[in-house]
Amino acid sequence: MSTDTRPPFSLNPQSLVGLLVVAAGLLLTADNLGLVESGNILRFWPVGVLAVGIMMLQRAGDAPSRTWALFVIGVGGVWTLSRLFGFPVRLSMIFPVGLVMIGLVIIQRAMGLQRTADTSSQAISDFAFWGGVERRVRTSLFRRADVTAIMGGVQLDFREAAINGEAVIDLFILMGGVEIKVPPDWVVSNQVVAIMGGASDKSMGSADSKNRLTLRGFVLMGGVEVKA
């Protein structure tokens, strides 16, 4: 009897965005069929912004990422309340606050407020927004990772880690970059969808290696590099 070594599914930024897009498509389809009035539901789209902000905060790997996550939560929360209670929210009100957030992020990056962390966890999650995250993974049984980089960078070092069978990294990269360092006996399966971006695999593992790292996800105007 074989044992399934694939890691279980978990909700990550890619999954959340995908679920929101699918939900919107189903609502529009149902509207075309005359089953529901999609406009009454889709007018509460800021709830999706709020949900994304909360997930950003949970995965924020440094101070700049946390700052932007709180900003997104604030915008999503205020916009949701405006739809509930009927008061207007104009972009001219949000823009100055956004400038303040950009200034804070620039200051935080200039001060070097980013994280370099070691971990022995089997599952990790990192989020970088206008910032950088560096992580060394030293677990003897790595299974999965969720990595999101939006106008930021993430560096993952697995050279002191091990896997048993297959491990998966789910990626969502928008105008950012991810660098992954792997041991020489790991083989990498690249299943990333890249649009105006790329995924480069410079690992040294042989095709019949029992240690397989699978890369999945979406890259838009960004890049992924794997090297030994």
pTM of the entire predicted model: 0.63
C-alpha to C-alpha distance for 17 and 90, rounded to whole angstroms: 24
Each residue's pLDDT, cut to its tens digit, for the chain (228 residues) gives 445 555 555 566 666 777 888 888 898 898 898 888 888 888 888 888 888 888 778 766 667 677 878 888 898 899 899 888 888 888 888 888 888 887 887 776 666 545 555 566 677 777 777 777 888 888 888 888 888 888 888 899 999 888 888 899 988 888 889 999 999 889 998 888 888 888 888 888 777 788 889 998 888 889 999 988
Last-in-domain residue among 110, 133, 167: 110
**125 and 106 both lie in a single domain:** no
Q: What residues contact residue 133 under an 8 Å CB cut-off, 6+ apart?
A: 61, 62, 65, 114, 115, 117, 126, 127, 152, 153, 154, 155
Residue at 5 is within a domain: no
The pLDDT value given to residue 179: 93
**94 and 119 both lie in a single domain:** no
**184 and 83 both lie in a single domain:** no
Residue at 2 is within a domain: no
Residue at 6 is within a domain: no
Last-in-domain residue among 84, 110, 136: 110
**125 and 76 both lie in a single domain:** no
**103 and 125 both lie in a single domain:** no
Residue at 7 is within a domain: no
The pLDDT value given to residue 110: 64
Residue at 1 is within a domain: no
- Bridge partner list, 180: 156, 226
Q: What is the domain range of residue 47?
A: 13-110
C-alpha to C-alpha distance for 109 and 176, rounded to whole angstroms: 15
The pLDDT value given to residue 12: 64
Residue at 128 is within a domain: yes
The pLDDT value given to residue 119: 62
Last-in-domain residue among 60, 81, 110: 110
Residue at 64 is within a domain: yes
**123 and 222 both lie in a single domain:** yes
The pLDDT value given to residue 51: 86
**80 and 98 both lie in a single domain:** yes
Q: What residues contact residue 18 under an 8 Å CB cut-off, 6+ apart?
A: none
**125 and 220 both lie in a single domain:** yes
The domain tally of the chain equals 2
**89 and 140 both lie in a single domain:** no
Q: What residues contact residue 113 under an 8 Å CB cut-off, 6+ apart?
A: 62, 63, 64
Residue at 189 is within a domain: yes
